[in-house]
Chains A and B, each alone.
Chain A
Amino acid sequence: MTSDPMIETSGACSDFEARLYDRISGEMSSSDITAVDAHLKNCPACAAAFERARFSARLLRIAEPTPDPGPGFAHMTMAHIRQAQRDLAEERSIWSPFVSLAWKFAATAGVALALVLTFDISQHRTTVDGTYLSPSDDAGLFSDVNYKSSDRDDFLVSPADENHGKR
């Protein structure tokens, strides 16, 4: 931006600027015109700003409004819209099953991982008397090889074959 800080305001009375604009653009009733013109006669700052604003019309008339793009534009735009719709539909039809499958796979994998971790912790971090054991201490759990089950429930939780086939 290269705006000039020396000309930030119009110099006119701020509560009169909107009416001065109406006066320039000709959108004003005759009674309002009389009131504004009376103010302009008595206020040199407003009169100067009004003249500057009015003169700008001589510069702005040089610019021309944007020409109509022509009758073909609407047709071309409709073709563009149809193409965009087709692309969107195609994108949806190709990827949507894969995306759904990927989410299901991710959810299943997450549950499986959670189960494996839970099982692993329960297997390797079990305590006998409140102290945590390392995997190398597992042998201590079954140290008494001559232990016989005292009842049916005890038998069920004991290892099936403590001697690994040897008598």
Chain B
Amino acid sequence: MPDVPKNVAATASALSIPVARSEKADIEHDLVRRAQSGEEAAFEELIRRHQQRVFGLVNGILRRRDDVEDVVQQVFLKVFVSLKRFDQRSAFSTWLYKISVNECWDYLRKRKVRPLTYEADLSEDQVSRLDGVASADKPPEDPSQRAEARDLLERMLERLPEEDQQLLMLKEVEGFSVQELAEMLNLNVNTVKVRLFRSRARLTEVYKRKLESNTSQPNTREKRG
């Protein structure tokens, strides 16, 4: 195999990303055009390509509600009905995510529900277990421990404003980019970054306060005893 100069290989690899992206965009453009002309198989392929991200988006906003699947189906039904009006000036995914966000707001407004809430506060044991997970090098491997840790994190997140919870879930957990979040929420990119930074700092602040109150409680008991 001939030696390839490092700079040539680097250029090729650097070029391969936009080429791959462009190819992907072309395929998607073609799928949208075919779906607009009434080809159901093309629309089904579009669903297959985007279903996971739409699930993540809806789940990030509604927070593990049972109705996530119904809302996602409703999103795709709306997209199907209004697909002929989509002029492809923006990316299909951007348009799809905006419809998804609006559908979530509609759902929350119509049903008059708030995203998942926990009424009870964390117990001392729960805070200690969460501390153990946060201090460890990697998350627990045992499924039940992981599930419990997730539940405890949800309760921590619950202490933040609703918009902050949603932003954190969408960016840091579901993996949406800052640019995507800015487009779907009609916000400035810098505003999204500032809100994400503040949300992350607040989350730690909530956690540290819980830990501090947890460690101070035994001393109080000793004094009382």
Whole-angstrom distance between the Cβ of A67 and the nearest chain B Cβ: 8
Q: How far is the CA of A10 from the CA of B205 in the complex (A)?
A: 9
Which residues A75-129 have CB closer than 8 A to chain B? 75-78, 80-82, 84
B55 touches A63 (CB 8 A): no
A contact residues around B150 at 8 Å (CB): 62-64
B44 touches A12 (CB 8 A): no
Chain B, interface size category, equals 35 or more
Whole-angstrom distance between the Cβ of B190 and the nearest chain A Cβ: 5
- Identify which of A2, A10, A69, A76 contacts B202 (C-beta below 8 A): A10
Interface residue? B160 (CB, 8 A): yes
Interface residue? B113 (CB, 8 A): no
B197 touches A21 (CB 8 A): yes
A contact residues around B169 at 8 Å (CB): 63
B55 touches A53 (CB 8 A): no
- Identify which of B77, B193, B201, B203 contacts A11 (C-beta below 8 A): B201
Whole-angstrom distance between the Cβ of A125 and the nearest chain B Cβ: 54
B contact residues around A81 at 8 Å (CB): 43, 76-77, 80
Known contacts A78-B44, A84-B77, A59 near B55 by CB under 8 Å? no
Whole-angstrom distance between the Cβ of A123 and the nearest chain B Cβ: 55
Q: How far is the CA of A61 from the CA of B168 in the complex (A)?
A: 11
Whole-angstrom distance between the Cβ of B143 and the nearest chain A Cβ: 11
A contact residues around B161 at 8 Å (CB): 1, 3
B contact residues around A166 at 8 Å (CB): none
Interface residue? B172 (CB, 8 A): yes
A77 touches B156 (CB 8 A): no
Which residues B23-75 have CB closer than 8 A to chain A? 40, 43-45, 47-48, 51-52, 55-56, 59-60, 69, 72-73
- Identify which of A2, A4, A17, A74 contacts B198 (C-beta below 8 A): A17
- Identify which of B56, B152, B158, B205 contacts A65 (C-beta below 8 A): B56
A62 touches B200 (CB 8 A): no
Known contacts A77-B76, A80-B73, A80-B77, A52 near B204 by CB under 8 Å? yes
Q: How far is the CA of A52 from the CA of B202 in the complex (A)?
A: 8
B contact residues around A84 at 8 Å (CB): 77
A62 touches B153 (CB 8 A): yes
Whole-angstrom distance between the Cβ of A53 and the nearest chain B Cβ: 4
- Identify which of B43, B73, B153, B193 contacts A59 (C-beta below 8 A): B153
B contact residues around A53 at 8 Å (CB): 197, 200-201, 204
- Chain B 111-129: CB-based contact to A (< 8 A → 1; otherwise 0): 0001001000000000000
Interface residue? B20 (CB, 8 A): no
A62 touches B197 (CB 8 A): no
B contact residues around A3 at 8 Å (CB): 159-161, 164
- Chain B 137-161: CB-based contact to A (< 8 A → 1; otherwise 0): 0010000001001101100101111
Given A65-B173, A67-B55, 11 more pairs with CB closer than 8 A: A1-B162, A21-B196, A53-B197, A60-B200, A62-B146, A65-B56, A65-B175, A68-B52, A68-B55, A73-B69, A78-B47
23 contacts between A and B (CB under 8 A): A1-B162, A2-B159, A11-B201, A12-B197, A17-B193, A17-B198, A18-B190, A24-B197, A52-B200, A53-B197, A56-B207, A59-B156, A59-B207, A63-B150, A63-B153, A64-B150, A65-B174, A66-B59, A69-B51, A69-B72, A74-B48, A77-B44, A81-B77
Closest 8 CB pairs of A and B: A21-B197, A56-B200, A18-B193, A53-B200, A52-B204, A10-B201, A74-B47, A52-B201
